Amino acid sequence: MSGTDVDSAEVLRVLTAVRERAPLVHCMTNVVVAGFTANVLLAVGASPAMVENAEESAEFAGIADALLVNLGTLSAERSRAMRLAAAAAQAHDKPWVLDPVAVGAMTFRTGLAADLLAHRPAVVRGNASEVLSLAGAAGAGRGVDSTVGAEAAVGTARALAARTGGVVAVSGAVDQVTDGEQLVEVRTGHPLMTRVTGVGCALGALVAACCAVEDDRLLAAVAATTVLTVAAEEAAVLSRGPGSFAVALLDALDALDGPTLDARTRARAAR
Amino acid sequence: MSGTDVDSAEVLRVLTAVRERAPLVHCMTNVVVAGFTANVLLAVGASPAMVENAEESAEFAGIADALLVNLGTLSAERSRAMRLAAAAAQAHDKPWVLDPVAVGAMTFRTGLAADLLAHRPAVVRGNASEVLSLAGAAGAGRGVDSTVGAEAAVGTARALAARTGGVVAVSGAVDQVTDGEQLVEVRTGHPLMTRVTGVGCALGALVAACCAVEDDRLLAAVAATTVLTVAAEEAAVLSRGPGSFAVALLDALDALDGPTLDARTRARAAR
Amino acid sequence: MSGTDVDSAEVLRVLTAVRERAPLVHCMTNVVVAGFTANVLLAVGASPAMVENAEESAEFAGIADALLVNLGTLSAERSRAMRLAAAAAQAHDKPWVLDPVAVGAMTFRTGLAADLLAHRPAVVRGNASEVLSLAGAAGAGRGVDSTVGAEAAVGTARALAARTGGVVAVSGAVDQVTDGEQLVEVRTGHPLMTRVTGVGCALGALVAACCAVEDDRLLAAVAATTVLTVAAEEAAVLSRGPGSFAVALLDALDALDGPTLDARTRARAAR
């Protein structure tokens, strides 16, 4: 059974709420993409803050409007800080997003990610290999890239969402987003997204920002994914390669409006 | 009592000295903005080096021409390294700049910042909430952004400067820079500066670079602020949004000349 | 005795192999340049992954196709993780590249770099001061920049290459690459490369990517250096300053083709 298409009017409503309420997003993310992630959040009107030490992460998770936990460049200290922050987010009923970067490829982070699931992330966002590995299936990941398509992970993603009580978003050429029952397919996007580091990681942060303003987690994850992928299509038009694409993507996120969301979403709708 | 305007000829003299002497600036800054900060320093002709571990920070603070301590992404180890570096800078009579990111919002860093003040930073640079919190007043900060304007912190900034024997620079729509007696208002700048991560943090690094070549700390802080804000005005003209603005800002810092500094400073002078 | 010129057809063969085989490059590099390094690798078609903790670095060094160890922003934990990764790379017969950033300037990293040499890096890449210091000569470095030209380090580089059984690449206006016997001079490049942070560090990562697909380490190092410096010449044509240069460099790496490599290499050949 294939999923439903994106409702661009609902996406615009969530984006507008982010711009108006400027949610404070606590990012625990990897050092490779921290700057780009902050710039993506600023470009949509959210307020990023990176707090990653065990002395402060729980305190700040209680202050912020949403939390992102991205396992990219892990360390023993970061992993302690992440456990504390995820527990604090759960205790304060703040939505949090788990991005299980390279889970499956390495033992240490695979164990950490499994533990973090107990704190019930509002959304898990990863590629197919990561989602399969996180759910205990054979992930077939190598490094940080998936070796299978998003469609191959839909069944596992549904089961994982049912288990966490949240949403699972699987990135790929067509993104698959499910709350365990409904499935939405996000068909917008551009191949240049895979030629710049941190686009997937920034999506995790955008999902957190949208969860801060929208209680329907399925809609929040779909809105974040649509906003980023439509902006990527706009950016690709103005790009000469991956360097100028990354710059144009930030400009496009800032400029994104309803007619653009609507036109690009319609153009990709399943027939 | 309002402050005096910027003297653009003096600013140009400091910028020229940075370009000619290429001061080595020891940066202990956060991982989000480290790359952008290094690029801002390189764009004005300074030589950045990030050394942040407790094994090397004191040794390097004795080698470099100036030190920046930015509390952005703190950790227990970084905080140890910062204490050692600030003490070494003081012992070697090297100017150092304290950027108290998010002080007031979290307990751990608020205590660290208070301790670091004892090593007499040449310049404290922060937003109004951070300066208020650092001085022991109610800061009203949330995350990394200020919730009050720079003008509201002028009295506190003067008192703090008198206490450290240095200068305090409060960033805002109009930047307020004081040595406890004199007050200079820097009126140049552009709203896009708040839409890119690390512009304020890079200003702290620029202040350190200027302190390395100019003993008048009030002038050094005013020069750094004016250079960055005038370059921002130039960059905004060529930008389509926050992504292209960040790129154009580096180009504009590299290209900045006396006539541009003079014209843009005059255009904003208080009447 | 001066070195030989670059063979652009051989360089193109190596670049094509990187694009076709997308080697997984394990990067242990500094936080300042991590994002830019990843983007440079993605722009040439390689697959970067940053894994820097002691819990995972040895495991991942056995999975990846090549390893980069860059000493930029060292810490006690990172240094442990680097020792484990270099040993694992050696044990698994995976090529690894040592970039001895600021060695000579600080005691802690100078000792670490000397120890790492025992694991026989396929290529050492640094500036003249770093290579001199690493070999035990007086380095004359200050901060991260060299105070002497690459030519001054050729004799030392030859001796160091003979000692490690690998290749030593000394960056400068003309890059000097030697395996202890042969010497190749790479004459392409542009002064803007020194005005952007991380260009030299990204070269280390490119060398690792080329070593993953080319067993002739001298050719791999020459190919990486030529690809980056020719792309820099292309990028400079489209740049207004250091900000736009960094963006254009990524675009140029993505677009680089045989005729461009050939024409720019010929134009700089020694006569």
Predicted confidence at residue B146, as pLDDT, reads: 72
Q: What is the pLDDT of residues B44-70, one digit of tens each?
A: 999 999 999 999 999 999 999 999 999
Alpha-carbon gap, residue A158 to B181, rounded angstroms:
65
Q: Which two tokens stand for residue C129?
A: 């001061």
Alpha-carbon gap, residue C40 to A243, rounded angstroms:
9
Better-predicted residue by pLDDT, A173 or C142: A173
Alpha-carbon gap, residue B271 to C226, rounded angstroms:
56
Cite the DSSP H helix spans in B47-121: 57-63, 76-91, 107-116
Contact assignment for B35 to C75 by CB distance below 8 Å: no
Looking up tokens 């999902």 gives: A207
Confidence of residue A143 (pLDDT cuts 50, 70, 90): low
Task: From chain C, pick out residues whose CB is under 8 angstroms from the CB of A197.
Answer: 35, 38-39, 42, 48
Mean pLDDT confidence for C121-128: 97
Cite the DSSP H helix spans in chain C: 8-21, 34-43, 57-63, 76-91, 107-117, 128-134, 154-164, 199-213, 217-237, 242-255, 258-268
Q: Which two tokens stand for residue C260?
A: 């461009």
**Contact B15/B231 with Cβ under 8 angstroms?**
no
A236's enclosing H/E stretch is helix A217-237
Contact assignment for C35 to A33 by CB distance below 8 Å: yes
DSSP of B162-208:
HHHTSEEEEESSSEEEESSS-EEEE----GGGGGSTTHHHHHHHHHH
| CA quadruple A194, A198, A199, A200: dihedral sign | positive
Residue type, C15: L
Predicted confidence at residue A270, as pLDDT, reads: 79
What is residue B15's three-state secondary structure? helix
Query: B125: annotated binding-site residue?
Result: yes
**Residue C13: which residues within 8 A CB-CB, separation 6 or more?**
none
Predicted confidence at residue C104, as pLDDT, reads: 86
- Residue C266 burial by CB count (10 A; 0-12/13-18/19+): exposed, middle or buried? exposed
Q: Does C130 touch chain B (CB under 8 A)?
A: no
Contact assignment for A244 to C248 by CB distance below 8 Å: yes
Q: Which two tokens stand for residue B255?
A: 């290209």
Predicted confidence at residue B84, as pLDDT, reads: 97
C126's enclosing H/E stretch is strand C123-127
**Contact B52/B81 with Cβ under 8 angstroms?**
yes
Mean pLDDT confidence for C127-134: 94
Q: Does B39 touch chain C (CB under 8 A)?
A: yes
Alpha-carbon gap, residue A101 to A144, rounded angstroms:
6
Predicted confidence at residue B269, as pLDDT, reads: 86
Predicted confidence at residue B107, as pLDDT, reads: 87
Query: A198: annotated binding-site residue?
Result: yes
Alpha-carbon gap, residue A179 to A198, rounded angstroms:
25
Alpha-carbon gap, residue A153 to A141, rounded angstroms:
12
Beta-carbon neighbour count of residue B111 at 10 Å?
Answer: 12
Task: From chain C, pick out residues whose CB is under 8 angstroms from the CB of B67.
Answer: none
Q: What percent of chain C has pLDDT over 70?
A: 96
Residue type, A121: P
Among B235, B164, B210, B259, which Cα is nearest to B20's?
A: B210
Contact assignment for B143 to A43 by CB distance below 8 Å: no
Lowest-confidence region among A12-26, B100-114, B236-250, C150-164: B100-114
Query: B75: annotated binding-site residue?
Result: no
Per the document, the length of chain C is: 271
Q: What structural domains and CATH numbers belong to chain A?
A: 8-268 (3.40.1190.20)
Lowest-confidence region among A105-109, B112-116, B173-177: A105-109
Closest residue on chain A to C31 (Cα): A31
CA angle A120–A122–A124, rounded 5-degree value: 90
Q: What is the pLDDT of residues C29-74, one digit of tens each?
A: 999 999 999 999 999 999 999 999 999 999 999 999 999 999 998 9
Residue type, A259: P
Query: C106: annotated binding-site residue?
Result: no
The neighbouring-strand residues paired with B96 are B67
Q: What percent of chain B has pLDDT over 90?
A: 88
Query: Which chains border B (3 or more CB–CB pairs < 8 Å)?
Result: A, C
